[in-house]
Amino acid sequence: MRIAVTGTHGSGKTTLVEDFVAASAGYEAVPEPYWLLVQQGVVFADGPDVAGLEEQLKQSCALLLATSEADVIFDRCPLDFLTYLDVVSAAEGFEWSPDGKLLRRVEDALATLDLVAFVPLQRPDEITVAIEYPKLRTRVDARLKAMLRDDDLGLLAEGPRVVEVTGTRQQRVTRLQACLVGA
């Protein structure tokens, strides 16, 4: 099964990916696009900006389209970057929207997935360290919830199944593994 984990920063996505791979034989993890781009020498601005997020969106699509493994779990997917672009551009005073070509590429990339696991923020917050950009974190979480529920870009009707994964670390892994049984 091809899975992507989505959510705002500091929600537990990477932890879920790592825990899931440790508990699920045969699964390979694909790191989030930001880290892969940094390894390639891409230099990002200090803080989230539209140009850097667009680069990560393109990388996310490329990863999904180029990875052929059947049992793989991606840390982030294009939905993350669409959400960040929406929120960051609004904070910068304009409305970002993907052109038709990019939207088709995102659709094609999402169509390669069987499941998107959404990790929302929890109350009380289980992250005990200071999180960078806390207002952005909250806004992205709210926008991603709306995007997943309303499918306002029309990307999910024919795309992967979306599940919300909450609870303790073990409960999240168990919930995700239960999705494998039902597939």
Residue 40 Cα to chain centre, angstroms: 20
Q: Which one has a higher pLDDT value, 155 or 143? A: 143
Q: Residue 122: what pLDDT?
A: 86
Reported as a single tens digit per residue, the pLDDT across 9-48 is 999 999 999 999 999 999 999 999 999 999 999 999 999 9
Q: Residue 182: what pLDDT?
A: 60
Q: Is 58 a residue whose pLDDT tops 80?
A: yes
Work out the average pLDDT over 77-92.
Answer: 96
Q: How far apart are CA 78 and CA 68, in angstroms?
A: 17
Q: Residue 183: what pLDDT?
A: 57
Query: 3-class SS at 161?
Result: strand
Q: Is 75 a residue whose pLDDT tops 90?
A: yes
Work out the average pLDDT over 73-88.
Answer: 97
Side by side, the strands of the sheet bearing 115-118 are 28-30, 72-75, 2-6, 115-118, 161-164
- CA separation (Å) from 117 to 40, 43, 128, 135, 177? 27, 29, 23, 23, 11
Q: Residue 159: what pLDDT?
A: 80
Lowest mean pLDDT among 4-8, 38-42, 48-52, 151-155: 151-155
Q: Which one has a higher pLDDT value, 127 or 170? A: 170
Q: Model pTM?
A: 0.94
Q: Which domains does the chain have, with CATH numbers?
A: 2-181 (3.40.50.300)
Per-residue confidence band for 84, with pLDDT thresholds at 50, 70 and 90:
very high
